[in-house]
Amino acid sequence: MRERGGFWVGLFASVFYPFTWALTRRTVRGMQHMPVRGGALLVLNHPSYIDPIVDAVFVHEHGRVPRFFTKHTLWNIPLLNRVLDGAGQIPVFRGTAQAGDSLRGAHDALKAGKVVVIYPEGTLTKDSDGWPVDNRTGVARLALANDVPVIPAARWGTREIFDSRRRRFRPFPRKPVNMVVGEPLDLSAYRGREVDGELLREVTEVIMDRVRELLKELRA
């Protein structure tokens, strides 16, 4: 049964679907690992600014409405703020006294049974070859505090369309964009332990090691 997204999610879909169809030739493996209902944390690599568009279409095609972390300054744009609120997106308050609100918004979404998509680096990867590095521990905080599936995934090919670091946009011909979704991670060994910096770093690496393994599969 498809999760209801409402008018604003439909508006996003009317833009994102044609964009994705026009620019990509997509393949997806492992869709069976995405739950059809209930909260889930989907963890991905992030080499290009168009990743959220491709990932949003993937999640939506699976009958779910994705929630992304989005820069809070976008809420200052008239109309766009209504679209973001209506689509249930999560504002990120980097470098402000409200920085903790980002994770609270994600906790609330997961508890409400939503799919939260997270790029643990918090921004585009700094690695020139596109591998995820410099991962932040927010993904571990969310994974340990919520009894939801933590699903590692990897996607490759978006940087060939838009190399965000070099500001190089090459839309045509359509490029292959491949995604693989892994089985939910078993983090039971880490639950119940005191949550400190060491544990958060350890869990973050466990999650991201699996994302890197999936990315290796795609890049062969």
Tens digits of residue pLDDT in 169-212: 999 999 999 999 999 999 999 988 999 999 999 999 999 999 99
CA 36 to chain centre: 17
CATH superfamily of 34-219: Glycerol-3-phosphate (1)-acyltransferase (3.40.1130.10)
Q: Give the confidence band of 98 by pLDDT, cuts at 50, 70, 90.
A: low
The string of pLDDT tens digits covering residues 158-168 is 999 999 888 99
Crossing angle of helices 138-145 and 197-219, in 10° steps, is: 100
- Is 90 exceeded by the pLDDT of residue 81? no
In the structure encoding, which two tokens stand for residue 175, read together?
Answer: 């490029």
pLDDT on residue 41: 98
pLDDT on residue 200: 96
Mean pLDDT of 95-114: 80
Sign of CA dihedral 145, 148, 149, 155: negative
pLDDT on residue 172: 92
pLDDT on residue 96: 54
Q: Give the confidence band of 87 by pLDDT, cuts at 50, 70, 90.
A: confident
The string of pLDDT tens digits covering residues 110-159 is 999 999 999 999 889 999 999 999 999 999 999 999 999 999 999 999 99
- Calculate what percentage of the chain has a pLDDT beyond 70: 96
Crossing angle of helices 138-145 and 101-111, in 10° steps, is: 30
Phi and psi based region of residue 190 (left: phi greater than 0; alpha: psi -120 to 50; beta: remaining)? alpha
The string of pLDDT tens digits covering residues 7-61 is 888 888 999 999 999 999 999 999 999 999 999 999 999 999 999 999 999 999 9
Residue boundaries of the structural domains of the chain: 34-219
pTM of the complete model? 0.93
What is the C-alpha separation between 107 and 63, in angstroms, rounded? 21
The CA-atom distances, in angstroms, between 208 and each of 31, 32, 117, 214, 215 are 19, 20, 14, 10, 10
pLDDT on residue 86: 82
pLDDT on residue 64: 94
Say how many Å lie between the first and final Cα of the chain, rounded: 35
- Is 60 exceeded by the pLDDT of residue 99? no
Pairing assessment for the beta strands 90-92 and 66-71 based on DSSP bridges: parallel
What is the C-alpha separation between 104 and 215, in angstroms, rounded? 29
pLDDT on residue 36: 93
pLDDT on residue 85: 84
What is the C-alpha separation between 68 and 56, in angstroms, rounded? 9
